[in-house]
Amino acid sequence: MRLLSVLAVAKTASLARAATTYDYIVVGSGPGGSPLASNLARAGYSTLLIEAGGDEADNPTYRQMGNFIEACNDEASRWDFWVKHNDDEKVDALYKHTTWDTGDGTFYVGLDPPPGAKYLGIQYPRAAVLGGCAMHNAGVSSLAQDDDWNIVANLTGDLSWEAPKMRKYLKAIEKNEYRPAGDPDHGYNGWLSIITDDPSWAKATNTTGVRILNKFAEFLGQKASDEVTLLSQNDILSASPDKDYTSSLYNMALHANSKGERSTPGDYVRATLSDPAKYPLTLKLRTLVTKVLFNESSTTPRAIGVEIMEGASLYKADPKYIPGTKGPVSQVFASKEVIISGGTFNTPQILKLSGVGPKAELEKFGIKVVKDLPGVGERMGDNYEASIRGVTTEPIPAGLTTSIFRTPNAPTKKRNIYAWCGPFSFEGFWPGFPDNRPNQWECALVQIGPKSQAGTVRLRSADPQDTPDINFRFFKEHGDQDISELVAATNIMRETWKAAGAPALPIQELHPCPGELGKAPCTDAMQKEYTQLQAYSHHATSSCAIGADSDPLAVLDSKFRVRGVSGLRVVDASAFPVVPGAFPVVPTMMLSQKASEVIIADAKGA
């Protein structure tokens, strides 16, 4: 079934256009690239969409949202990036999920590797598949804070980025399935289905899960009697002007349909390919882009196409990669523009391999400099994530308790934590994650508005099959403040646990304060040390950011154009100047919709 699906897509694509020159080439089919390529083709422009992975549309591991853990671990799409959290490898080695290659085809995860094991680092899986990481994530749909959009307007003077004007892009892509029809804040005819969790569990009064929920509502200043109403009617994707300042319980939104099936940008691509209108979209799967091609005959170099290597599992992040494997190399051309949507790790790598990036770094690897652009691969950011986890005496019957709130020590009046609690385990990524235990209970925390953006994506070599050197440099800037906010949120979560009562109590906390809840030693100092070493992340952004004309590290202008060259844009999460809210997947799709509008308008005005 899956093979037939891939062949059908390939056949449709080849019928759409067989030439080697297109109006547009889009590199990468994730939340940035897939919507953009589809929109360009629907506007009548011949468009080639290139994806290094395959298509898993008919694979239930990916289609059913509830299987996201299996999807994230699946070698059919998984690319393993082994990243650093710090400059000091000895500090990173204290991260409890540090991974080592044992040399016998297995991994060791932990703090005491066997003799001879090769240090790999911290696993950061990405998805090489049509639809990108929207195909293996948990589907959490969240919006950027207003100031995350306004910063672009403030930096560039482009007022089209002002937050109230960005809402139309959500409405354009959204097929809302949880709000009453006609809600002016939402869209109902887009390609992205969005649902919310079933909150009916909260109706079971005086259960351990509801008692925890009651305590949480108390902390938020909300009435416990209003819980079911809050969970069922409080819109987590609200357009309210005070939403960024409102601490509340919510019902988690997911990019899935009412059947629990994942909704992704890849669906939009397949719909575009199969549409009777025969839009001029070509999809090229299992194809690795090795560099952008430039015409340098004029003062400003112009992107004219890309070099590609065809074949499956050609990138060394792919666990199925066989050393020495290469594929046939060829070139394809774009008469209008090349758009890179490879994601926060691969987009800066592709630009650098193409000669666009910091001059000294390019010359180090013998790469001809097309444009010295110092900011490529710099100032990467991410949401810090942490959790408090324990084991209860008896299972706690509950669904997810989701909230967005402000800790008392937040530096502004805006909320700074997105949290969800329930009988699950999530503590970051490592081969084979998670570590499930009977009667587990956890609150996972995502920090909104991290203060540090000191991460980098730099080349290891000039080999396009090699992975880049990725270092997040956690907590390098204003680290004490960020760590303190996470600890404050953890303390709040712990207090809600104490309200569970019998038969859940006593709870054995596993981390950050091991031992019986309320009796084990647990100071803020202990928790800060634990958080600094064990925080994790998986929402990388900003490695090729939009910025001001006066900023030497700005990579893009407000129209996504790469500075200093022509015919080349970047449309993906790497373009955000700051991390957008708590989960960047939907903001990236909104960004892609805006880019579509901008690029089509430029084409019509040319």
Choose the final residue of a domain: 534, 562, 587.
534
Residue 544 sits in the same domain as residue 530: no
Task: Tell me whether residue 193 is in a domain.
Answer: no
Q: What is the pLDDT of residue 235?
A: 95
Residue 28 sits in the same domain as residue 141: yes
Edge-first strand order for the sheet with 385-391 is 248-250, 401-405, 417-422, 440-447, 385-391, 508-511, 515-516
Both tokens of 150, joined, read 């306004």
pLDDT digit string, tens, across residues 293-343: 999 999 999 999 999 999 999 999 999 999 999 999 999 999 999 999 999
Q: What is the pLDDT of residue 606?
A: 61
Cis-peptide into 512, omega within 30 deg: yes
The 8 Å CB, 24+ separation contacts for 60-63 are 62/129, 62/135, 62/136, 62/262, 63/261, 63/262
CA distance 95 to 338: 40
Domain of residue 498, residue span: 198-251+383-534
pLDDT digit string, tens, across residues 53-80: 999 999 999 999 999 999 999 999 999 9
Residue 389 sits in the same domain as residue 463: yes
Residue 504 sits in the same domain as residue 554: no
Choose the final residue of a domain: 500, 534, 568.
534
Q: How large is the average pLDDT for residues 178-202?
A: 94
Pairing between strand 287-295 and 302-310?
antiparallel
Task: Tell me whether residue 155 is in a domain.
Answer: yes
pLDDT digit string, tens, across residues 139-149: 999 999 999 99
**C-beta separation of 183 from 215 below 8 A:** no
As a whole number, the mean pLDDT across the chain is 95
Task: Tell me whether residue 73 is in a domain.
Answer: no
Q: What is the pLDDT of residue 11?
A: 37
Burial code (b: 16+ CB inside 10 Å, e: under 16) for 65-77 equals bebbbebbbbebb
Residues facing 330 on adjacent strands: 308
pLDDT digit string, tens, across residues 267-276: 999 999 999 9
Q: What stretches of 167-209 adopt beta strand conformation (E)?
A: 174-176, 192-196
The response to whether 139 counts as a known ligand-binding position is yes
Q: Tokens 């000191």 belong to which residue?
A: 454
pLDDT digit string, tens, across residues 341-366: 999 999 999 999 999 999 999 999 99
Neighbours of 561 (CB within 10 A): 20
Residue 370 sits in the same domain as residue 409: no
With CA atoms as reference, report the closest residue to 204 among 393, 394, 395, 397: 397
The response to whether 390 counts as a known ligand-binding position is no
What is the separation of C-alpha 526 from the centre of its chain, rounded to a whole number of angstroms? 30
Residue 510 sits in the same domain as residue 528: yes
Residue 152 sits in the same domain as residue 264: yes
Task: Tell me whether residue 92 is in a domain.
Answer: no
pLDDT band at 128 (very low <50, low <70, confident <90, very high): very high
Residues facing 100 on adjacent strands: 108, 119
Residue 399 sits in the same domain as residue 528: yes
With CA atoms as reference, report the closest residue to 39 among 160, 169, 202: 169
Residue 349 sits in the same domain as residue 408: no
Into how many domains does the chain fold?
2
* This prediction's pTM: 0.96
Residue 396 sits in the same domain as residue 472: yes
Pairing between strand 417-422 and 440-447?
antiparallel
Task: Tell me whether residue 140 is in a domain.
Answer: yes
DSSP code of residue 544: T
**Cα within 13 Å of Cα(546), Cβ side:** 29
With CA atoms as reference, report the closest residue to 179 among 250, 142, 242, 232: 232
pLDDT digit string, tens, across residues 502-528: 999 999 999 999 999 999 999 999 999
With CA atoms as reference, report the closest residue to 49 among 353, 329, 275, 279: 279
Q: CATH no. for residue 467?
A: 3.30.410
Residue 400 sits in the same domain as residue 497: yes
| Total count of residues recorded for the chain | 606
φ, ψ at 405 (rounded to 5°): -150, 170
Element (H, E) at 446: strand 440-447
Q: What is the pLDDT of residue 4?
A: 35
CA distance 522 to 511: 10
Element (H, E) at 213: helix 208-219
Q: CATH no. for residue 45?
A: 3.50.50.60
Choose the final residue of a domain: 491, 514, 534.
534
**C-beta separation of 184 from 238 below 8 A:** no
Q: How large is the average pLDDT for residues 238-256?
A: 96
Residue 9 has pLDDT above 90, yes or no: no
For the chain, the helix, strand and coil percentages under 3-state DSSP, each to the nearest 5: 30, 25, 45
Task: Tell me whether residue 91 is in a domain.
Answer: no
The response to whether 504 counts as a known ligand-binding position is no
Residue 341 sits in the same domain as residue 274: yes
Q: What is the pLDDT of residue 226?
A: 80
Task: Tell me whether residue 83 is in a domain.
Answer: no
As a whole-number percent, the residues of the chain with pLDDT over 90 amount to: 93
Q: What is the pLDDT of residue 550?
A: 98
Q: How large is the average pLDDT for residues 435-439?
A: 97
Q: How large is the average pLDDT for residues 208-223?
A: 93
The response to whether 138 counts as a known ligand-binding position is yes
Residue 12 has pLDDT above 70, yes or no: no
Task: Tell me whether residue 343 is in a domain.
Answer: yes
Q: What is the pLDDT of residue 243?
A: 97
Sign of CA dihedral 450, 452, 453, 458: negative
As a whole-number percent, the residues of the chain with pLDDT over 70 amount to: 97
